[in-house]
Structure 1
Amino acid sequence: MTRSELLNDLEQSLTRLVDGMLVDKGRSIEFLTRLDRLDDIAIDMARGINADARLAGFFADNTPWLLDEDLTTAQKGRAGTLFAEITDLLAARTDEEGLKLGREAEEWSRAMGGRPLRLVLRATREEASLSDRFHALLRREAEEVNMLLAEREHLMTCLDDVLSSAELKRDRMHHHLAASLIYFLKMEGYKVEPYVRRLRRITEILEKEKPC
């Protein structure tokens, strides 16, 4: 093989490698985009906002994606956990639409390997409800970190992603997870001051948007 042929072969190999990396990156971005849509639906449902039409639309638009064999175990687990949460949020519904959406969410939760979020606690009804919400929050955070670590190499990178999500979504889960990661990394000796400043800005925004 001549030097020219060798260089040409190397160039083609590098091109295939880069193309493959771009495809994987594209799939990852597509997954996060779809997951963000589902996460937004779950957040609104938890806030008491009716999201029936959006959830039905998500099922209609994303069935081929949900059946994609290229989804990683971590991605399936994250989606499955969201479906489990949505199933839990729909559990009290007795109307036809609520029951239908609940069944579909539960089926996808099982298919994707989601874990049920319901807990049996020895407490008063009010205390159990608060404890359930806290445990559900921690489980969602754990699944979020697991999914991010499947795509990232370090918690610092995960923290940056979580803060970006908190800035965009302005939801309590990402805000709490960011604070937890910052505290843990600080205990481990990492310099987290820039992240603390970002978190403070997000906190100020959330405080201003809090209902009076």
Structure 2
Amino acid sequence: LEAFLKVKCTNFCSILKITDQSNQNITCNIFREKLEDHPKIFQIGDIVRMHRVKAQVFKDTISLVNAFGFSVVTFDGTVGGAVEPRTSSSYFHFDQEDRQRVEELRSWASSQALLPPVSASIPLSAVQPRSYFDLTCQVLAKAPIDSTCILLRVWDGTRCPHPLLKVVVEPNVTEGPSSFSREKENLIANILVYDNHVDCARQLKVRTHQQT
């Protein structure tokens, strides 16, 4: 999943980069008014099956865009993982042939080393811009931004060397301290959690005592 943004004040746009055994990389732009109608992608390497997309050419490059009647089903791309469809569609067809196709794509992707390697957790002090990483940290406070987004304020005792996102929320909606000492603020990272991950983030526990 390359990007996810709101456009024209009515639709959200998902921008996917997809490939298969043809080794062709194609961009797919999906415009839908409701977030739940977008692909439920949890990580790079997930598999998508899209119904009713059309191809278009711009500057000699082919891309895909959703058409009327569009629907999408997503699967975990991990070899050996459960083949469980993720979709908001009320009706969709999924048979043994589809299951076999998912398994074929999983095996092919793993043999091509397309998926990022599983990396050990790194501290905030080692974070690099525009990179994927695992972070083990402590939640100091959290606050809802809207129904599709929640803010987590976290730290791990190290300082990120790069500028961090600044987010302002009302103190009365914050669970945990609404402010910290200047010294501690320099060590805190603001993380915005979106969409299908919000429910999980809501269940995270905020530390109950403040460290000076």
Q: Same fold (TM over 0.5)?
A: no
TM-score scaled by length of structure 2: 0.25
TM-score scaled by length of structure 1: 0.25
Higher strand share: 2
